[in-house]
Amino acid sequence: MVQTIGRLPYLEYGLGDDRLGGAKMTYLDSGVVMLVVDSADGDYRVQLSKNHSAYISKENVKPVPEKRPRPYYLTSNWRVFGNDTTGFDYVTINLDERLPYRSIQQINPSRIAIDIFGATSNSNWISQFNSVKEIKNSWYEQIEDDVMRVFIELKHSQHWGYNISYDSVFPRLIIKVKRQPLVLTLSKLKIAIDAGHGGTNTGASGKSSGILEKDYTLKFANELNKLLKKNNVKTFMTRTTDTTLDMATRVEMLKAWNPDILISIHFNSSGNALIKGTSTYYRYIGFRSLSQSVLKRMLELKLIEIGNVGSFNFSLNGPTDYPNCLVEVAFLSNLDDEKRILDPKFRVATAKKIVDGINDWLKKIK
- In this prediction, residue 249 carries a pLDDT of 97
- In this prediction, residue 19 carries a pLDDT of 84
- Does residue 134 surpass a pLDDT of 90? yes
Q: What is the mean pLDDT of residues 290-317?
A: 97
- In this prediction, residue 20 carries a pLDDT of 87
Burial class (CB in 10 A: 0-12, 13-18, 19+), 309: middle
**Burial letters 241-270, b for 16+ CB under 10 A, else e:** eeeebeeeebbebbeeebbbbbbbbbbbbe
Burial class (CB in 10 A: 0-12, 13-18, 19+), 171: middle
Name residue 126's beta-bridge partners.
78
Q: What is the mean pLDDT of residues 11-28?
A: 93
Residues 311 and 327: their CA atoms lie apart, in Å, by 15
Residues 318 and 311: their CA atoms lie apart, in Å, by 9
The mean predicted confidence, pLDDT, of the chain is 97
* Portion of the chain with pLDDT greater than 90, in percent: 98
Pairing of strands 111-117, 101-106: antiparallel
Confidence of residue 284 (pLDDT cuts 50, 70, 90): very high
Q: Mind listing the pLDDT tens digit for each residue in 2-17?
A: 999 999 999 999 999 8
**All structural domains of the chain:** 2-63 (2.30.30.40), 73-178 (2.60.40.3500), 186-365 (3.40.630.40)
Q: Mind listing the pLDDT tens digit for each residue in 242-262?
A: 999 999 999 999 999 999 999
Q: Mind listing the pLDDT tens digit for each residue in 39-79?
A: 998 999 999 999 999 999 999 999 999 999 999 999 999 99
Residues 295 and 224: their CA atoms lie apart, in Å, by 15
The values of phi and psi at residue 330, to 5°, are -170, 180
Q: What is the mean pLDDT of residues 19-31?
A: 93
Picking from 117, 127, 130, 119, the residue whose alpha carbon sits closest to that of residue 72 is: 119
Distances (CA, A) of 98 to 63, 162, 174, 324, 352: 15, 19, 11, 28, 46
Write down how long the chain is: 366
Confidence of residue 310 (pLDDT cuts 50, 70, 90): very high
- Does residue 302 surpass a pLDDT of 90? yes
Residues 342 and 336: their CA atoms lie apart, in Å, by 10
Distances (CA, A) of 319 to 172, 223, 302, 304: 21, 25, 31, 29
- Does residue 18 surpass a pLDDT of 90? no
Q: What is the mean pLDDT of residues 180-208?
A: 97
Q: What is the mean pLDDT of residues 93-103?
A: 97
- In this prediction, residue 212 carries a pLDDT of 98
- In this prediction, residue 231 carries a pLDDT of 96
Burial class (CB in 10 A: 0-12, 13-18, 19+), 128: middle
Identify whether the C-beta of residue 336 lies closer than 8 Å to the C-beta of residue 276.
yes
* Portion of the chain with pLDDT greater than 70, in percent: 100
What is the pTM (predicted TM-score) of this model? 0.96
